[in-house]
Structure 1
Amino acid sequence: MLSKLTTSLPPHLSLKFLKVYCRSGDLMRARQLFDKIPEPDLPTWTVLISAYSKQGFPKEAIKMYAELRNRSIVPDTLVLLSVAKACAMSADIVKAKEIHENANKFGFRSDLLLGNAMIDMYGKCRYFEGARRVFDDLKVKDVISWTSMCSCYINCGLPREALRALHEMGLNGLTPNSVTLSTILPACSDLKYLNLGREVHGFVIRNGVGDNVFVSSALVDMYASCLSIRQAQLVFDKMAHRDIVSWNVIITAYFSNGECEKALNLFCQMRVEGVKLNYASWNAVIGGCMQSGRTQQAVEILGQMQESGLKPNQITITSILPACTYLESLRGGKEIHGYIFRHWILEDMTATTALVFMYAKCGELELSRSVFNMMPRKDKVAWNTMITANSMHGNGEEALLLFNKMLNSGVQPNSVTFTGVLCGCSHSRLVDEGLSIFHSISRDHAIEPDAEHYSCMVDVLSRGGRLEEAYRFILEMPIEPSAGAWGALLGACRVYKNVNLGRIAAKRLFEIEPHNPGNYILLSNIFVAAKLWGEASETRKLMREKGIRKLPGCSWVQLRNKVHTFVVGDKSNDQSDEIYRFLDDMGEKMRLAGYLPDTDYVLQDLHQEEKEDSLCNHSEKLAVAFGILNLNGESSLKVFKNLRICGDCHNAIKYMAKIVGVQIIVRDALRFHHFKDGFCSCKDFCMLINIGPSTFHRTEQSGCERLTFPSETDREFPWHVPRNKASAKVYDMTCSCSVDIFCREFKNDDAPIFNCGMEPRQSNYVQAVLPTTGVPPITNHSAHSTSQGTSSDLPREISLNMYLKEEVRAMPQFWEAKTF
């Protein structure tokens, strides 16, 4: 019927039928009718192009215009107006420039109506240079021209230019209208120009446009952005008609100001008054709850959103995914991942980047890596997220590898990138690599290092055991050292038992953040580990006098969608008896495997047995025990803790993972620890303890690092490991880090092994075998070693190998220190 009709109708009747189809919204039949017209004229093209543009099909409108030009038809202003609007809708900058060229080519350079449309087009494409060229070509400029130019500047992130254009508009004798005012107020919001915003408000009142809902909503947003919430509420209350935008603005304002309860009350009031909620409303409340730490409430509101018939969009997904990291709900995160996959949101980089971060925070680095690798495009944020994910899991080498891949892909790093890379270097103790990266920030990338970068670099040096160098680095910083820098040094002083530097760092921290309990606890721990009971007591007393209380430690594990929380000595769990029996049995198995409790981490002055009993009550051990008892065939277990894991628990969990044969992942306040087969991904940094740098001096001979006694008076130093201790520690000045001495069973006797995880210039292990008897008087000052040594000819110096592989092995001959 349609084909017969079109072949028999003259062109003017075909145009009428085409208009009928377009007005009714039946664009499919309109296109079919158009295709039947042998030689459609310009008005016919204009009707269909305009219909596509008005009804939200910009790509079809642009495609039709391309067909028109291919037939060498010269467009008029009406066609160019429709296509300009289509380019604005699709933000197609390439086609926008083409339209601009055609307008100039066909003599419409100074056309006011088309010029205003093209300014708006360039504004939507965020290309202010093109908009300015169009604006300057206009011989006559009206209020719409100036308003469109102001809007373009704001869309391009140039609020000051927008205000300058408004000023020029006034100089040209034009008065802003309500659209101009609602357009320019966001510039005051962005710049936090409260006084200028008040002037605009006064202009609004004097000119009687306060009833305009767009102007009022912009005023509410301006006052809220300038932290004048009371004034924002007054404007909102005086609004005769409140649209959904004004509601969303005031609710977001209260969330941004930290007044979560008021925001939620307004949200309830909004629903009671029957306001139809849109995506912006739900996303504002979900995002606000997440920012306020109300993760559970955010999840509940997401459920209400779905019950209302609205499906989560990209913004919703991005807002709610962090809830899975706070609740440690991996199942919830996987459900959201499935939703993203089913609804083709994987193309959205923001949503997929949030997935990468969620999996990493939940301890699933492999899944995080898989999502990242599947991303078709990776922007700067995606690269930064994956680098940070590897850093928090202690994979510094992979963080560096990703950084290099990022550079090779043409993506330029920013400040966040270097923070992530330096954190990875610190967790993996890649000191030289960290120094190289730090120096490249300003040298190769023209980025000025900020306080975060300096703090990370202090952490890199401190974790590598180079405490004196870290201290000098702080003193030479061109900016005021932050709490992060001093805190990194103080934490390393606890690990390496450097009391003097610990005092200095703590003193500065007490000045910067006097109410942070962690600093006092760290200093007290340093004193206790050094047996300085009086100073430790004074530090605790200082805390009490200032009313500072230690944050209670707790650990939790999620099993079958339920979170089980434990505190020290917790017996509230239904399986408490079973948990403590398990720990007792496991303790015996661990002792047989070589574990002995490290009571240095029990800071009370208790008897040895009491200290060992106290260690069994730590929350992370209880959580791990509960998790193992309820594994149900799972090969891995994830435990989370709000504070740093203590050294003894760290050592114990290594043994548990090996004995039970599962991987145990513990996330503490700082990083992830992956325990498997008796090893931890952190390379036992938190286990390092030493007896102070005064024990040994450093000498260099033929490029070989050696440990020597500093003086003859130190000859009586007991090199042997007590029989009732599983391990002891000494300080290695060659690499400024602690060296473990582990007792191993040998055929003839026990031989302790030096095992160091960091070298000054290399990340190789160092080891040497020492006797288990005391050191006799030594008269030979030369360096030597014998294959059949006795107590009378003990070598004066012990040569340490700098090129060993990571696997610790016993020396083949008992008294011999060998270089491999």
Structure 2
Amino acid sequence: MPSKVPTCLPPNISLKFIKSYVNSGDLGCALQLFNKIPVPDLRSWTILITTHTKQGFPKEALKLYAELRLRKVEPDKLVLLAAVKACAASAHLANAMQIHEDAIRFGFSSDLLLGNALIDMYGKCNFFQGARKVFDEMPTKDVISWTSISACYVNCGLPGEALQVVRAMGSTGMKPNSVTVSSILPAISDLKYLNLGREIHGFVLRNGMSQNVFVTSGLVDMYANCFSLHQAQLVFDNMSKRDIVSWNVIITAHFSNGGCEKAVNLFHRMRSEGVNLNSASWNAVISGCIQHGKTEQALYLLAQMQDSGFKPNHVTIASLLPACTNLESLRGGKQIHAYSFRHRFIEDIMIATAMILMYAKCGDLELSQRVFSELPRRDTVAWNTIIMANSMHGNGKEALLLFQKMIDSGIKPNSVTFTGVLSGCSHSQLVQEAHSIFYSMSGNYLIEPDADHYSCMVDVLSRSGYLEEAYEFIQKMPIEPTASAWGALLGACRVYKNVELGQVAANKLFEIEPENPGNYILLSNIFVSAKMWLDASKIRKLMRDRGVTKAPGCSWVQVKNRVHTFVVGDKRNEQSNEIYRFLDELREKMRLAGYLPDTGFVLQDVDQEEKEELLCNHSERLAVAFGILNLNGESLVRVFKNLRICGDCHNAIKFMSKIIGVQITVRDNLRFHHFRDGLCSCRDFW
């Protein structure tokens, strides 16, 4: 410790030195001197507790107060105020209740200043019951008392109660101040009470509060949340002074209301006007761009953010991970993982959970499971995510095992949990297990199955070939069957070539979602498989008459930092000649290995040779070939497709994985397929 700290000074001189050290920012020396005082006076305790809180060490401040009480020192009002503020800063409820008891024990329960501080403390601790008790027992109340209890209700997620407090305040004749107004506006935003918000706006104008930046920023946010963006912009434009909060609020408001371009333009205007940006500004524009599908623009802004001297924080990371997930960018996700690990953001359960989902959706279930296994704490969302991750990769048994571990760990499942587990059962033919899980929902967990759960059960039965049972299940559903339920049955009718039930399901879907091209295509495919060409033609004509168009199938694969997209018969790629030559050579090897093209997946009525040629031009096969040609020493190819993988391509890729000796992962719009040594993880069931 520094030798400059004096010793054996009288109490009044020691206090003077402590104040000097505190004012110079040398808290260490102040504390060292304090510890040398045999009997410190209350002013020294107050100064050190207050300073620790102000410098961001509220827990240490509370330790000092605990030491004071251990020494049997009776606190005065100022010491108690300092301790209350430390509790508010640390949001430590147990300490808060103890200090409240001390305030009563030592005769300060009627003090207005301390009472207001106690209300604020309980509000910061999210304990409105304690705040209300203090408020009700106060013999006198001022505007701060009313404002504090109102703000407490807002902070505890009780906006209706907050408004009741403000109305009661008005009935006493006490007039709200600017702090009252700025604290109640979030409650109006939450409740979407636009008319009341307009009344508050009128009060602001009549009482000269329109120059208060906190009030006007709150008005902008209120109007935006009440879907009155035009009024929000008017308030913002008429502000005589705008701080960084008001800029961030209006930018976020435009993003939330679909005005991505307007929000980005405002961000650039803010920069051009020399406003000192903060991390919240960068996070608002980056996350807003990502939410609106402007991922490349978001990544460009991220680079600018770093060039400006701002480091991505946990909010930035939480925004970027969905972008990597949406782009299926495993490389980008790994870079963010490494950054998060170095800066200890991975300890944030929200970020870790987003990381689990990112790895799963990018095709690396092993890394997804590793992140989950390293979580120090697991909440319901984390368990749901890893269950869903295994389900989408076809690991139904693992999803069931994880569900049981979740229950054993004391975490209660919710509706999403059961959707994930039932989905896993569906992809793994676990019919009996699905039945057991489904009927345990209401019986064991008091969760009534919703439309998603019923649709999952239809999917379980349909995929396993129990088409009649699935149809009967739909007919007995206590709720109206959704498109998902009928769609599951229709898809299974395509697999199992059930024309009759396929027509029933399709006709229902034509009523529910007449604009969905997939339903028409599936029924047409069912007719084609049954050689019912005239019926298939009628369905195609029905599509044309209704103006329904089919989304073209496409597949994509990432090589290094570039995504390469393919459609059927694509020859735009610079390696097209090499791709087709490679597929031709491979086709002969596949024939020798036993591969026979399944031309039933060609929907045109053309000759056999042309059908085989068309199969070789499917987008997923082109993408796989391109990925293999550009392995660069790697042993895994990951391909993504926007539609269901073609059955013949599925068979062909199994042969390709065996002949080339590489693992091939294909994610279609239903699930992941992991091909290795001539086998697929789905066991030809998807």
CA deviations on 1:562-619 (whole Å, 9 max, x unpaired) are: 2111111011112211211111121112122221111111111111111111000001
Tell me if structure 2 keeps the 8 A contact 1:6–1:36: no
Name the residue aligned to 2:249. 249
Using the TM superposition, give the Cα deviation of residue 51 of structure 1 relative to its aligned residue in structure 2, in angstroms.
1.1
Aligned residue number for residue 94 of structure 1 = 94
Residue type at the aligned position of 2:138: L
Residue 538 of structure 1 deviates from its aligned partner by: 1.4
Structure 1 residues 609, 37: closer, same or farther in 2, change over 3 A? Answer: same
CA shift at 1:508, angstroms? 2.1
Cα offset, 1:8, TM superposition: 4.9
Q: Helix, strand or coil for the counterpart of 2:17?
A: helix
Give 2:467's aligned residue: 467
* Structure 1 residue ranges without an equivalent (≥5): 687-820
Give, in whole Å, the separation in 2 of the partners of 1:461 and 1:177.
Answer: 63
Match of 2:181 in 1: 181
1:285 pairs with 2:302: no
Does the 8 Å contact 2:5/2:33 carry over to 1?
A: no
Which residues of 2 match residues 569-648 of structure 1 at below 5 A?
569-648=569-648
Give the aligned partner of residue 149 of structure 1: 149
| Matched AA of 1:309 | G
Higher fraction of helix: 2
- Give the secondary structure class of the aligned counterpart of 2:7: helix
How far the C-alpha of 1:427 sits from its partner, in A, is: 1.2
Match of 1:140 in 2: 140
In 2, Cα distance between the equivalents of 1:202 and 1:414?
44
In structure 2, the residue corresponding to 1:208 is in which secondary structure? Answer: coil
Matched, 1:427 2:430: no
Which residue of structure 1 aligns with residue 165 of structure 2?
Answer: 165
Distance 1:663 1:4, change over 3 A: closer
Q: Is the 8 A contact 1:556 1:641 kept in 2?
A: yes
* TM alignment of 1:365-514, pairs within 5 A: 365-514=365-514
Structure label with greater radius of gyration: 1
Residue 178 of structure 2 aligns with an amino acid whose one-letter code is S
CA distance in structure 2 between the aligned counterparts of 1:502 and 1:204, rounded to whole angstroms: 63
Q: 1:574 to 1:375 in 2, by over 3 A?
A: same
Equivalent residues of 1:2, 1:33 under 8 A apart: no
Q: 1:273 to 1:627 in 2, by over 3 A?
A: same
Tell me which moved more, 499-508 or 302-311.
499-508
Compared CA separation, residues 170 and 580, structure 1 to 2 (3 A): same
1:727-766 alignment, distance < 5 Å? none
Distance in 1, Cα, partners of 2:4 & 2:227: 67
Partner in structure 1 of residue 328 of structure 2 = 328
How far did residue 630 of structure 1 move? 1.8
Letter in 1 for 2:406: M
Code of the residue aligned with 1:190 in structure 2: it is D
Matched, 1:669 2:666: no
Deviations 1:122-142 (A, max 9, x none): 111111122122222212122
Match of 2:549 in 1: 549
The aligned residue for residue 215 of structure 2 is 215
Question: 1:346: how far off?
Answer: 2.2
Q: Is 2:5–2:32's contact at 8 Å kept on the other side of the alignment?
A: no
CA distance, structure 1, for counterparts of residue 470 and residue 105 of structure 2: 66
Alignment partners' CA distance in 1, 2:451 and 2:188 = 29
Deviations 1:731-788 (A, max 9, x none): xxxxxxxxxxxxxxxxxxxxxxxxxxxxxxxxxxxxxxxxxxxxxxxxxxxxxxxxxx
Deviation per CA, 1:601-649, whole angstroms, max 9, x where unpaired?
A: 1111111111111000001001111111222332211111111111111
CA distance in 2 between counterparts of 1:477 and 1:537 reads: 33
2 CA distance for matches of 1:511 and 1:174? 59
Secondary structure, aligned partner of 1:633: coil
Contact kept? 2:5, 2:29, Cα under 8 Å:
no
In structure 2, give the amino acid aligned to 1:316. Answer: T
Residues 199/23 of structure 1: CA separation in 2 closer, same or farther (3 Å cut): same
Give the letter aligned to residue 109 of structure 1.
S
Structure 2 equivalent of residue 64 of structure 1: 64
The CA distance in 2 between the partners of 1:277 and 1:489, in whole Å, is 54
Give the whole-Å Cα distance in 2 for the aligned partners of 1:672 and 1:576.
26
Quick check: 1:6–1:37 contact (8 Å CA) kept in 2?
no
Q: TM-score, normalised by structure 1?
A: 0.82
The 5-angstrom pairing of residues 290-369 of structure 1 reads 290-369=290-369
**Hey, what's the Cα distance between the residues in 1 that align with 2:512 and 2:5?**
85
In 1, Cα distance between equivalents of 2:446 and 2:158:
23
What is the distance in 2 between the residues matched to 1:286 and 1:651? 42
Task: Quote the residue 2:108 is aligned against.
Answer: 108
Q: Residue deviations 1:82-136, cap 9 Å, x none?
A: 1111111111112112211211222222222111111111111111122122222
Q: Over aligned residues, Cα RMSD in angstroms?
A: 1.5
In structure 2, the residue matched to 1:24 is 24
Task: After superposing the two structures, state which structure 1 stretch, 232-241 or 617-626, moved more.
Answer: 232-241
Task: Tell me how far apart the structure 2 counterparts of residues 3 and 597 of structure 1 sit (CA, whole Å).
Answer: 87
For the residue of structure 1 that corresponds to 2:6, the secondary structure is: helix
8 Å CA contact retained: 1:642, 1:669: yes
Q: 1:353 to 1:115 in 2, by over 3 A?
A: same
Secondary structure at the residue paired with 1:603?
coil
Counterpart CA distance in 1 for 2:493 and 2:235 is: 55
Q: Which amino acid aligns with 1:138?
A: M
| Whole-Å separation in 2 of the counterparts to 1:271 and 1:103 | 49
Question: 1:3 Cα shift?
Answer: 6.2
1:226 and 2:226 are equivalent in the alignment: yes
Q: Distance in 1 between matches of 2:372 and 2:52?
A: 37
Aligned-partner Cα distance in 1 for 2:450–2:33 = 64
Distance in 1 between the 2:289 and 2:455 partners? 31
What's the CA shift for 1:309? 0.9
* Aligned AA (2:613): D
How many residue pairs match? The answer is 686
C-alpha separation in 2, matches of 1:291 and 1:22: 46
> In 2, distance between residues paired with 1:276 and 1:505?
59
- What SS does structure 2 have at the residue aligned with 1:60? helix
Residue 678 of structure 1 corresponds to which residue in structure 2?
678
* Distance in 1 of aligned mates of 2:509 and 2:483: 6
- The corresponding residue for 1:274 is 274
**CA positional deviation for 1:6:** 3.3
Instruction: Please give the per-residue CA displacement for 1:683-713, whole angstroms capped at 9, x wherever unaligned.
Output: 2124xxxxxxxxxxxxxxxxxxxxxxxxxxx
Residue range with higher mean Cα deviation, 325-334 or 45-54 = 325-334
Residue 796 (structure 1) aligns with: none
Counterpart of 1:539?
539
Contact 2:7–2:33 (Cα < 8 Å) also in 1: no
Amino acid at match of 1:351: I
Identity of aligned residues (%): 71
Distance across 2 between alignment mates of 1:8 and 1:398 = 69
Determine the C-alpha separation between the residues in 2 that align with 1:483 and 1:111.
Answer: 63
Q: Is the 8 A contact 1:213 1:241 kept in 2?
A: yes
After TM superposition, give the deviation of residue 173 of structure 1 in Å.
2.1
- What TM-score do the two structures reach when normalised by structure 2? 0.97
Contact 2:254 2:262 in 1 (8 A): yes
Determine whether 1:73 maps to 2:73. yes
Contact kept in structure 2, 1:397 and 1:424, CA below 8 Å: yes
Q: Match for 1:433: what amino acid?
A: E
Q: Distance in 2 between matches of 1:5 and 1:630?
A: 68
Shift of 1:148: 1.2
SS in 1 for 2:456: helix
Deviation (angstroms), 1:383 = 0.9
**Which runs of 5 or more structure 2 residues have no equivalent in the other structure?**
none
